[in-house]
Structures are given as C-alpha cells and as structure tokens.
Structure 1
C-alpha cells in the first residue's frame, strides 16, 4: 500500500491570503510533502519533484503536465502571500514569497523547489496551532478555490463549524481580487458553490455554508463540516454478547433441554426434559450463564450478526 502524503501547515499559512493557480498550488503542496522528509531544511535545500509523480498523483496527461509545470515554475518565484504576524509584541501583517528559487530540469523530467525561509518556518518544527490533511484528498480537484476552501474548513473539523469570515477577507484568502466576481451572485455561482460541491463530492467531508447579513448586504459567511463515515461489518465470533431475545431464549431452551450432551451435564437427577426447558428459560436470560455454556449454544446454531462499525471515509 502506498504511503499517504501528509500536508502539514502552520495555521498562519492556512489562513494566509494568496493567489496561486491550480498547478502552482499542486506543486507547492507536493514540495511541502517532500520537505517533511528532510531533516535539515533551509532555503538552499533542493526539493526534487519528479514530473511523473505529479502526473500520477493528479491524474493529468504527460504532455499537459510538462507544459503547465514549466509555466508554474516561471511564475512561482514572484508569487507572494500575506499573513497575520507579530512584531515586537504587536499584531502585524507580513508579506513573504513562497520559494527562494524554482528550477525546471526538462531532460530529467524534474522540478526543483527551494522554499523560502518563511514557508520553511511554517511547515517544520510545528508543535501547536497547525493543520494537517492527506494530499490525496485534494488531488482530484479541478478548481484552485476548492483546495483553498478545503484547507480553511478542515482546520475546524473537530469543532464542526468555522468562525464567521468577513466576506472581503474570505475572498482574499481564496485568492480573489476586488475586480473578480464582484457581486455576491457571481461569486457564489462561479467560485463558492462549485468549491463546496467539489469538496462534498470528492473528499472525506461534507460542507455547507450559512450567510450573515449586515443591513441588506451579505457581510459574513460560516461553514459547517461533517466527516463522512463508511459502515463496515466487524464480526467477533469469540466475543459474543449473549443478549438473547425472548424468541431465542425459547428456541435454545428447547434445543438444549433435548440435547443429550448438555442434559447429561446440566440436568438434575430425575429432571424431565420439559422441567429442564422451563428452568433454562430463566437461566438463558443471564448472559453469564450463556457464556458458561457458550460452546453448546454455538454448537446448536447461536451466532450474532456482524456488527457495523462506522469509520471515516477514505477517498
């Protein structure tokens, strides 16, 4: 079984505002995953991403991948993100770059990423306030907004709902400029609803959103998140509960009373089959009695239906 690729980011990076294309986000996520395997990570550390790995993970064609990755490498160097920071004990807003350098080795089919100091600090040596998820969850996304929205909401999975995001701040986190999809209807149709649907369809969670108005305008948005579960059957033949129904008690009382092997061990001297059956009706209501004679019950056909266990859905 292939080892799952774990993305781990400081929450400051999760909540950052930036605009990366779908391909650029995919490259950065792969770089972050690969960087976690490197002990001594610095802005001069080369992080190699074979293009074939990109093709296999994201399910794109080879010819398309080579062309789009070259474009991504050319633009990643000048991309920036802004995030909430602290400076001398005061709240601050910082702007940083994603990569120190990005290289495309065409003949070897290789992308080489050198992460910036800021990104390195936000993906390594994390002890608290971080978010993690498996890269495979977002690998099938076709929208760059779906990746960003998934990251923003998965942080809140344990709580089940996010805080209310102010709309303009939320748009910035998704990477939208002030001139893109300016009206709420265009934003919802072209960005939000598509991302919500893609996340709910393709990942391990389902989400929906609620809007909050200030006056007549929608000013805030909040998301609720639910983990998807899959029911699997789990059979524990050695660990039966032996909680017999009335129907089972009557049936097994008759079977055991008529069974020569059981009767020779449990029946009292001079006790008739019918008397033993009546006595067993009372005793079979006791799970400890049933466990004591479990081999006889199983031999005569006792079996519990496999239990259904809910486990988180893997996509």
Structure 2
C-alpha cells in the first residue's frame, strides 16, 4: 500500500500505453462489460510491467480517466460500479502440460505457449479476482487477482500479444474489443492453404465460447448478425485492418467461421503542408471555415448531460428501436429503463457517438 501511495499513477498523460497480454488470456473465454474489460486489461498490464510479482494492483480513477481519455467524474462512477460486479466474473483459459518436463521431474511443468515436444492441453476455469475493493475517498480500486490469473500474468513473457491501447478506446462493445485483441494476436501468422493473408479459423461453438455467449444466440444467423458482423465492421472502419468473414459448411449447416486479416498498419509519414494554403479556408458561399465544419457538437465532445438523456426518453421508442443492436439479450424493462441502462455510455464521449438518432432527437 505504501508503494502505491508514494507512486500512485502508472498511466499518465502523454505516455503511450502498450498492452502486453498473455495469449492464454487473449484466446480465453469470458464475458465482461466494455468498462470491465478496459479496467482488467489496464490492471493486468500494470502488474506485468511493474515487475513486482505478487497479485495485487491498484488503478486510480485518474489513471482510468487518462488512459481512456474520459472525464474524471465519469471514471469515479465506472470504478465504483465495476467494483460491485467484478468479483463474480469468471473465465476459462487453456495452458499446456509439458510432458517432457514432467517426466524430468521439473517443478514448472506448465506453459502458455504450446511446447514443440509432447504436451497435453489443460483447461483452467477460475475467477478473475480473489478480492476487490473500491476506495471512494481516495478514488482508486484495489484488485487482488486469483492465483491462476496471477500465474498467467507471471508467464506473459512466454507467449504474449502487444497492441496500442489507444486503438481500443473508441471501439464500442466488449465483443469488438475482444476481436481486436485476437486479430492482433494472429496478424503476424503465416498464411496457410494458399491464402494471401493470415486467418483465424474456429468452429461456431468455439467462437461463441470465445465471446462469452455460448448459451446465447441459438440461431447461427443471429450470432453472425449481432456479434461477428458489427465487430468486424467497427475494426474495418478504423482502417488498421481489413477483416473478411467467410463461413464453412457441411451441407447447409455452418460449422466454422473464418476471418482473414489484412494488416494495413504502416509507419506514419510526415504530411507535407502547403505554406500557401490557409488551413481554415473560408467557404465561398456559406462563410464557414473548414474548422467549423469538423467541429463536433458539445454532446459529442463531452457526452450527454442528465437533461439531454431525459429528452431522449421523450422519444424513447424511436431511440431504442434505432439502437436495438445495443440492447442486452432478453431485456425486460421499459424504454426508459433501457435508456437508464445505457446512461453511462451516453455520458461517455468515447461511446455516445455510437448511438443512432441522438442529434436528430435532441434537436426536436
């Protein structure tokens, strides 16, 4: 605790956040909210990079706010809400028993990376946390990871994936964040079967388990429409990758989904700036400047206020129907209940832009 108080913030303004995450976690199966996924990703990465060992980590509201480029008041609410749910969250991962090490009598006989020699897959089912506490006065969340998770973090150097955390903060939805991590894990793989690009190939049940929805979407078409396609669309819009979805069938039954990965990430080049061209050219007929044209609305820059959320409730049916893709499975409440459920996302400038009809309804 004294070390945390003396040096509380690992994630600070202006510091690039490169996530290093165990491939066992990248390919594991679990279900979290977007905020829970962000928090645990930052916490796991912080513990790994601090290199202090153990299984305890603190994330301050200031760190969470800085990393996700959101309002600090919103960060306090996120940490408080998240702390109430995280203890019950579970996951499953696969590690490998190195049978040669076992026969040799070595102590550390498990590995994240599949050994080149004889091995046996071992599935772990466990909780993320052994304990969690939110300290409201100090504004930080305390996480004590479970023993299996602490073990995976200690093994991150064996097989891990790195990616720029900033690329994930504008991705709406847990499924998209999960797929983005998986794409980064597979992007450097060698193409097989004569294909031009690396591919992620999994059976339908494996995809559903990966996204934490094994007991949802009994119709394959619904899973494809509500999980795979929206996630692929968002990642493609980011333009770092071009993902292509294919499906394999036995007769008329879809057995596998295949995602091809075209990696478009290149070192950024300095743009040539024409010294004779004014950056804020005045439009001939409208009198507006280029800067005016791209300036976002206040609600896009800051998130919605309570008053604006209440105005959306006046047009509740229209708003909820337009954003039905964000509705939780089997939601039973009213339109107002659903908007209240979305409130934290609507107040978050990184997520509010993903909601349809917002400007139209606020302007009425």
> What TM-score, normalized to structure 1?
0.67
Identify the residue that residue 206 of structure 1 maps to in structure 2. 242
Task: Report the more deviating stretch, 132-141 or 59-68.
Answer: 59-68
Tell me, yes or no, if the aligned pair for 2:217 and 2:223 is still in contact at 8 Å.
yes
Q: Shift of the alpha carbon at 1:232? A: 2.7
Query: Quick one: which of 19, 24, 28 aligns to 1:7?
Result: 19
| Structure 1 residue 188 corresponds to structure 2 residue 224 | yes
* d(CA) in 2 for partners of 1:225, 1:26: 24
Tell me, yes or no, if the aligned pair for 1:9 and 1:122 is still in contact at 8 Å.
no
Q: In the superposition, relative to structure 1, how do residues 32 and 190 fare at CA in structure 2: closer, same or farther (>3 Å)?
A: same
Q: Shift of the alpha carbon at 1:60? A: 3.9
Identify the residue that residue 339 of structure 2 maps to in structure 1. none
Aligned positions of 1:224-303 closer than 5 A: 224-229=260-265, 232=269
Q: Shift of the alpha carbon at 1:11? A: 1.6
Q: Shift of the alpha carbon at 1:106? A: 0.8
* d(CA) in 1 for partners of 2:154, 2:185: 17
> 1:46-103: per-residue Cα shift (whole Å, max 9, x none)?
x221213222332444454333322211221121111223458443322122122211
| Structure 1 residue 116 corresponds to structure 2 residue 146 | yes
Q: In the superposition, relative to structure 1, how do residues 14 and 187 fare at CA in structure 2: closer, same or farther (>3 Å)?
A: same
5+ residue gaps in structure 1?
Answer: 236-315
Tell me, yes or no, if the aligned pair for 1:11 and 1:129 is still in contact at 8 Å.
yes
Query: Quick one: which of 151, 176, 180 aligns to 1:150?
Result: 180
Identify the residue that residue 257 of structure 2 maps to in structure 1. 221
Q: Secondary structure at the match of 1:224?
A: strand
> 1:231-269: per-residue Cα shift (whole Å, max 9, x none)?
63699xxxxxxxxxxxxxxxxxxxxxxxxxxxxxxxxxx
| Structure 1 residue 103 corresponds to structure 2 residue 115 | no
| Structure 1 residue 177 corresponds to structure 2 residue 214 | yes
Q: Secondary structure at the match of 2:131?
A: strand
State the superposition RMSD in angstroms.
2.4
Q: Shift of the alpha carbon at 1:177? A: 3.3
Identify the residue that residue 205 of structure 2 maps to in structure 1. 168
| Structure 1 residue 24 corresponds to structure 2 residue 24 | no
| Structure 1 residue 72 corresponds to structure 2 residue 82 | yes
Q: In the superposition, relative to structure 1, how do residues 147 and 38 fare at CA in structure 2: closer, same or farther (>3 Å)?
A: same
* d(CA) in 2 for partners of 1:196, 1:163: 13
Identify the residue that residue 337 of structure 2 maps to in structure 1. none
Identify the residue that residue 102 of structure 2 maps to in structure 1. none
Tell me, yes or no, if the aligned pair for 1:42 and 1:117 is still in contact at 8 Å.
no
> 1:96-149: per-residue Cα shift (whole Å, max 9, x none)?
221222111111221122222222222334343321212112111111001111
Identify the residue that residue 165 of structure 2 maps to in structure 1. 135
Number of residues paired by the alignment?
Answer: 232
More strand, by proportion: 1
* d(CA) in 2 for partners of 1:145, 1:64: 22
Tell me, yes or no, if the aligned pair for 1:137 and 1:203 is still in contact at 8 Å.
no
Q: In the superposition, relative to structure 1, how do residues 203 and 81 fare at CA in structure 2: closer, same or farther (>3 Å)?
A: farther
5+ residue gaps in structure 2?
Answer: 1-12, 100-119, 190-196, 273-364
Tell me, yes or no, if the aligned pair for 1:140 and 1:202 is still in contact at 8 Å.
no
* d(CA) in 2 for partners of 1:125, 1:227: 27
Q: Shift of the alpha carbon at 1:203? A: 6.2
Q: Shift of the alpha carbon at 1:192? A: 1.1
* d(CA) in 1 for partners of 2:237, 2:90: 30
Q: Secondary structure at the match of 1:200?
A: helix
